[in-house]
Structure 1
């Protein structure tokens, strides 16, 4: 019997994301997102917290812009406008953005790691509309305000004497700036890792310089980078570290980009070394730990934000000449990032008769969770009991990864059209079809005359055949590309090969997992996980999800208030 598997469909993933981004919002507060999801509570709920109006409005803005662009849909335009309105409120001293005074918020402050998200969102606004004067003003004032708040380390006073620092070195005195109190050393986020958390803005600063030629942004980026790579002592000589992977890899992306724009290879090399270190802790299919060397690896979970960062770092490294990163880009997006998305909510216990509070809703959570991403996944399952079974931060970053990849499936220059990734996509120039994981082929139907190339990947067998309109041809292979000479409009060029099922066992997350691979796709992963088992990719079999009724819940289930979990 022939086994049929689900094909990877990036647009379908984007569509589910758009559903979540437009559903898990609060119309009573101009579509403010819900970060907290009590997915394992009985009944389940969504609840506001301070971060909803901090990093979330910014990352969800970028997320909804990303998926709406991929899908070309009008749906979600109203929610996107709401997110923008939230971002443009609550600006204050030193150009920093604070949050509104909501009932569930206490101390009102601006966090520097959150300013990374805010500046990134402003950059996206300006990329889509360079004439956006409000976004330009806020971005410019934010960069200049932060620059005024830094400490510049100028002199090293050592036991043997005083020495001038040869480079600019900048750091912030704290990780929070109070709206009504400025830098108060008695108040902090409690996260630790001050240098790397504050340094998360490095990538957004380099993008700001690229887009606007903002020299202050470049100066701030260089000073922060020098601090991180030197006196912070955050990284060892091999660029290994102890701590938050999301922060470190986002910084790595910024270092690589900074190295390109400043023409300083050392920044690129350091960024690549950080990437390589995290890659050594990750799986071949894109499971990335949330922390490095903080917990035993068998206690680590995958925060989907970290996969997005690895994908973004891949794009920066590719621009820097590391073509081998195309493979990671492809494997990560279509495997673990895809699996970490919730596709069915039947496991969620719902009670639509529960009365909402000012901060919490119980309404239709089983339907609204579809399209969200996990912040607590093992390679083979999503934990329901973990605090971040579904994480608001991941819902903001994963769709950005989709856009990063979608924009690179096909690349065009005046000399050549290149199909870089085995992902189906249609443009004005070409329509790409793929057979994976059922058949081994990539077919490009061109809509204009020209040279066409298809990128080769390490998982392809040695014997690959090429054809044009079904007729075998010889292709020149150059720089990892199979190049078809001038192809006529309407022709179909195809790369094909035998596709076998291959088992690969690896040590990851403190355990041993065996991936069942067909080309670039993991179609099954052993041992199977629970309660939300991942990698159920057989199209001819129903997916296994726990029923809410098995946990004492279900639609219409009503518990006495004293029995409810809070």
Structure 2
């Protein structure tokens, strides 16, 4: 039995779980084609193919499996990753667009620009892995040039008062769908609406393509799409608020921030920040992000894991742009709702291994294969099994990207300094880092060579921060939000400690009030508790605890949010 009291945030365990999903929720008959649709509530449970499996999913799952394999430093999954690679590099058509194979479960063969936002990042990653990959280079180059040739370029603004030449490129796609046989048919559409934002999710990947290959067409296309979105589309108001799909808007926000950094255009960075801040205002402090903004009543919303990935990715871009306050969001979102949205229990699933896989449906070992998947729609305190997309293929493709960002940025080495940005157990070439959250406020860093060591400090650590080097008291120098330990010899242990209590914070999420139980940066429980797959069961080896009014007393809430009230459990 573990001596720990609370569950620890260990991203490698989450990576290992989702790697199992990515390598098993595939169809060997079709070269490991993924299953998007998983239905754990059916009796028996099943997974079924649909068109999206060979559209966005082969791209996003290539990114996902590459991300977690790099985190884990493993050869496991290499065969399946190569299958995803092959899928991405086939089924291309005119204008460099990727379509899909004609499977029994597909209908009209088409390409959508939203889906190219998943395909282009996969091609970018292929080229990051192997810059000499001529096939991936050709597909990426042709795709960008094909899309550039398909846009409408708005050159003149014709108004009642006259004609005015546009001073910057403005690009708009004529439709959101392009038929393999027929091209743009304006009598057809995806029906999703919001073409301006959904067609723009490729923005981040376009900028990355420019960085990888110095592709001027890519950065031109990115700028024209951004200008249309921030101008004539009228999608955002002056506060960067919007009505609609949060995943698309959040993804675009990260692209705008990156575009602004690369082109040194502050306008784009501020736009990305404004979109992020609006989404943040309708999300929880621990990372519950609604799927839509102002589309349904808020109390009908669910949290799509894709949206959490977007917030983490955008927070990272904003940090790189100089807004260091977003380290807190990245930390809280990743170690709370992101990993809570992963399915870790399947004892409730009815599995029938006597049924043969047929007609694009599989029943085999569903209770085992679904472990590690991510939900497409969680409530604040539970995952509802009866909801469509209780497990979603798109989220399985996105969540690992967020995990990798957090993993890579948690511990960095820069100019002779090891910097611990987030409390995560991790060993790099330069240092070994361990932490003991949420049991106690403790981080240790043991450098492999003489260097400075810096540990990022947060408001939730409080003011009673204590330092040691090799067991001896040491007062670190506070530089901005970093506690700096100077000239630490190789093999000497740096320790940072602070007091930690269980703070109960009342927070309104999804239009309802919850009592959120925090220990430092980790949520350990939420009341009221949820049904089906209950979230935040993080107290180990303990009977369920139901708090009463006598168990808590009110204190300030400065460390958790300006509009919330906090309590301390004695």
TM interval, short-chain normalised: over 0.9
For 1:237-276, list aligned pairs within 5 A: 237-276=238-277
For 1:60-139, list aligned pairs within 5 A: 60-139=61-140
- Separation (CA, whole Å) in 2 of partners of 1:181 and 1:330: 47
- Separation (CA, whole Å) in 2 of partners of 1:318 and 1:260: 11
For 1:403-482, list aligned pairs within 5 A: 403-482=404-483
Secondary structure in structure 2 of the residue aligned to 1:384: coil
* Higher relative contact order (CA closer than 8 Å, sequence separation 6+): 1
Distance 1:349 1:92, change over 3 A: same
- Separation (CA, whole Å) in 2 of partners of 1:329 and 1:458: 14
- Separation (CA, whole Å) in 1 of partners of 2:16 and 2:460: 29
Secondary structure in structure 2 of the residue aligned to 1:335: helix
Secondary structure in structure 1 of the residue aligned to 2:85: helix
Q: TM-score, normalised by structure 1?
A: 0.95
- Separation (CA, whole Å) in 2 of partners of 1:502 and 1:454: 23
The gaps in structure 2 that reach 5 residues or longer are: 546-570
Q: CA deviation at 1:414?
A: 2.7
- Separation (CA, whole Å) in 2 of partners of 1:118 and 1:355: 32
1:373 corresponds to which residue? 374
Q: CA deviation at 1:415?
A: 2.5
1:217 corresponds to which residue? 218
The gaps in structure 1 that reach 5 residues or longer are: 545-566
- Separation (CA, whole Å) in 1 of partners of 2:445 and 2:69: 25
- Separation (CA, whole Å) in 1 of partners of 2:278 and 2:422: 25
- Separation (CA, whole Å) in 1 of partners of 2:442 and 2:324: 21
Secondary structure in structure 1 of the residue aligned to 2:478: strand
- Separation (CA, whole Å) in 1 of partners of 2:277 and 2:46: 39
Secondary structure in structure 2 of the residue aligned to 1:119: helix
Secondary structure in structure 2 of the residue aligned to 1:18: helix
1:352 corresponds to which residue? 353
For 1:139-178, list aligned pairs within 5 A: 139-178=140-179
- Separation (CA, whole Å) in 2 of partners of 1:87 and 1:20: 19
Q: CA deviation at 1:542?
A: 8.1
- Separation (CA, whole Å) in 2 of partners of 1:273 and 1:458: 23
Tell me the alpha carbon deviations over residues 365-389 of structure 1, each in whole angstroms, 9 at most, x when there is no partner.
1111100000110110001111110
Q: CA deviation at 1:356?
A: 2.1
2:558 corresponds to which residue? none
1:494 corresponds to which residue? 495
Q: CA deviation at 1:355?
A: 2.6
- Separation (CA, whole Å) in 1 of partners of 2:454 and 2:307: 31
Secondary structure in structure 1 of the residue aligned to 2:199: helix
2:231 corresponds to which residue? 230
Q: CA deviation at 1:3?
A: 7.6
Q: CA RMSD in A?
A: 1.2
Paired residues, number: 543
1:551 corresponds to which residue? none
Q: CA deviation at 1:463?
A: 1.1
Maintained 8 Å contact 2:413/2:430: no
Secondary structure in structure 2 of the residue aligned to 1:217: helix
1:325 corresponds to which residue? 326
Distance 1:25 1:543, change over 3 A: farther
- Separation (CA, whole Å) in 1 of partners of 2:247 and 2:543: 34
Between 287-296 and 533-542, report the one with greater CA deviation: 533-542
Q: CA deviation at 1:543?
A: 9.7
1:562 corresponds to which residue? none
- Separation (CA, whole Å) in 1 of partners of 2:369 and 2:512: 33
Tell me the alpha carbon deviations over residues 222-270 of structure 1, each in whole angstroms, 9 at most, x when there is no partner.
0000000010010001000000000001000010011111111011001
- Separation (CA, whole Å) in 1 of partners of 2:473 and 2:15: 36
